[in-house]
Amino acid sequence: MAGRLFGVGVGPGDPELVTVKAARLIGEADVVAFHCARHGRSIARAIAEPYLRDGRIEEQLVYPVTTETTDHPGGYQGALEDFYADCAARLAAHLDAGRTVVVLSEGDPLFYGSYMHLHKRLAPHYPAEVVPGVTSLSAASAAAGRPLVEREETLTVLPGTLPGEELAARLRTADAAAVLKLGRTFPKVRQAFEDAGRLGDGWYVERAATDRQRVLPLADVDPADVPYMSLALLTSPAERSFTAPPPVRPEGAGGVWVVGLGPAGRPWLTPEAQDVLASATDLVGYGPYLDRVPPNPRQRRHGSGNRVEADRARHALALARDGARVAVVSSGDPGVFAMATAVLEAADADAFADVPVQVVPGLTAAQAVAARAGAPLGHDFCVLSLSDILKPWDVVRRRLAAAAEADLVLALYNPSSSRRRHQLPAARDLLLEHRSPETPVVIGRDVGGPEETVTVTTLGKLDPERVDMRCLLIVGSSATRVTERGVVYTPRRYP
C-alpha cells in the first residue's frame, strides 16, 4: 500500500495559527519534509516544532540556489526544476514504503508555496491532500488592523519581482493590492507605489504574526532594512476614506422588550429573543429567570423576587424612559401567566405613555410538555392556572367545570406548591365528575432542564403528592389516546 502525501500549510509564523487538522497530521506523520536555504534554518519547521513527535523522519529539502547566481546549464529555473524532481524522487521512496509524508509550507501550500511543485509531480501517482493555512496576506491585514476589501472591491496580488513599470500600472488601477516577495525588490516596489500616486496609502508589514512583526506606513520604511518575509499593502479604499464617528446612542433608542425565554435553556430560545437579549443595555427579571441569561459586563442586571411583578415592570419602564434598551425576561411565553401583562398594565399609566413596549414570544411550558409526550394538544384545548393568589378559587373551580363539561384538553399551570396543596386534589375530583378515570394525564416536570421527567398516568391514578410548582399537567379529553409505546395524542377529528 502506498503512503499518503499531505501538503500542510502552517500559517505565517505564530504556532497558534496552525489549524487543528494541520497540527494533527504533523503529529501523526512518519516523514516531515521542509524546504530551507543552505543555512539549514526553516521557518515552516520552526512553526511546526510544537507539534512534531519523537521518532519521525525528517527530510530537509535544501534549495540549490536562492538569490545568488548559478552555473546550471538551464540557469536559475533549470536548477530549480532539477531540485524539485530530486525532492519528488526522495519523497516517492517514502510513499512507496507506505509512509505518511507531510510537507510543511509556510502560509498556504498553494499560495506562492514551494509545495505546489512537488504536488504537481507526486499527486498523479499517490494519494495526496492539501491542507490550507493562514496566508501571509491575511496575517498582514490583521497585523495592520485594516480590511483588505469590502463589498464589490477587488484585490490584486502582485509579486515584487515584476518590472517596476508593470507594478505601477497595476497599482494605479487597483482597488486594493498586496505586493509580496520584497527584500531586494523593495526600492523598486516603493518607487512603483510612488509612480502610481499611491505611496501615501501604502502600508508595510514585516514578519507578520511573529515576535519580530513590524507595521509601518510604506513611505517611512528604510529600504536597507527590508527582509524577504515582508509585504506591502494597499488596503480597501472604503477603509481609507472612512472616518468613524464616536459611538453615540441614538435619540429615542430606549424601549422595553418583554422576552420569552422558553421553558429552559438556550435551545428553547427563539432567534428574535436572542437578538433582543444581545442588544439590550439592561436586563430585568425574577432572579432565577435572569440567571438563565449568560452574564455580559456591558449590561446592567436588575433581579428581584417572584411576587413584585408590578414593581419590576415600573422599574423597567423607568429605565427605558431614560434611554435604556430594557429586556424584561420571562420564562416560557411572556404573555402566558407571565410578565407581558404586568408591563403593559404599568405602561398604561401617564408617566410611561411615550415608552414603547414590545412583546417577544417564547415557547410555552404547555408546548414543551406536549411535544415530549406526543401531541396531546392536537385538538381544542384550554390553558388554566390553578393558583388562587390573583383570583378566587371559586373562579378557578367554575372555569375547570366549564372546560371539563366542554370536553377540552386542559393544560394546567401552577398545579401545586409548598403552600398550595388543596387545589390539585380538588381539581382532580371536579374533573372526575365529567371525565372517565382512564382519561390520560401527562405530568411534565422541569422539561428542558437537567431534572426533566415526563410521566403518563390517568386521571383516576393521579397522585397530587408527585406534583410540585415545577410541573405542568395536561389532562386529556374523551378523544385523547395513549399508544402501546406510551405516546399521547388527541386526534384532529372529533368523534
Taking only the tens place, the pLDDT of each residue in 66-88 is 666 777 877 778 888 999 999 99
Boundary residue ending a domain (77, 106, 133) = 133
Segment 437-478, tens digit of pLDDT: 999 999 999 998 888 999 999 999 999 988 988 899 999 999
In this structure, what CATH number is given to the domain that contains residue 271? Answer: 3.40.1010.10
**350 and 371 both lie in a single domain:** no
Q: What single DSSP character describes residue 50?
A: G
Mean pLDDT lowest among 13-22, 71-80, 200-209, 308-317: 71-80
| Same domain flag for 11 and 114 | yes
Total domains in the chain come to: 4
Domain boundary among 87, 107, 133: 133
Q: How confident is the model at residue 65 (pLDDT cuts 50, 70, 90)?
A: confident
Q: Is residue 114 part of a domain?
A: yes
435 and 355, same domain (yes or no):
no
- The reply to whether 247 falls in a domain is no
Is residue 54 domain-shared with residue 147, that is, in the same domain? Answer: no
Is residue 81 domain-resident? yes
8 A C-beta contact, residue 311 and residue 346: no
Q: Does 251 score more than 60 pLDDT?
A: no
Distance in angstroms (rounded) separating the CA atoms of residues 481 and 487: 8
CATH number of the domain enclosing 167: 3.30.950.10
pLDDT of residue 249: 61
Residue 347 lies in a domain: yes
Domain ranges, residue 260:
255-360
Distances (CA, A) of 138 to 17, 52, 133, 167, 241: 11, 25, 10, 21, 21
pLDDT band at 389 (very low <50, low <70, confident <90, very high): confident
Q: Which of 360, 382, 405 is the last residue of a domain?
A: 360
Does 129 share its domain with 149?
A: no
Chain segment 123-161, per-residue pLDDT in tens? 999 999 999 999 999 999 999 999 999 999 999 999 999
Task: Give CA–CA dist 238/55, Å, rounded.
Answer: 52
Examine residue 243 and state whether it is found in any structural domain, yes or no. no
- Does 224 share its domain with 145? yes
The answer on 347 and 261 residing in a single domain is: yes
Q: How far apart are the first and last CA of the chain?
A: 69
Kindly state whether residue 405 falls inside one of the protein's structural domains: yes
Same domain? For 309 and 377 the reply is: no
Query: By percentage, how much of the chain surpasses pLDDT 90?
Result: 79
Mean pLDDT over 169-188 rounds to 95
CA angle 308, 314, 317 (to 5 degrees): 140
Per-residue pLDDT tens digits for 114-130: 999 999 999 999 999 99
Helix (H, G, I), strand (E, B) or coil at 17: helix
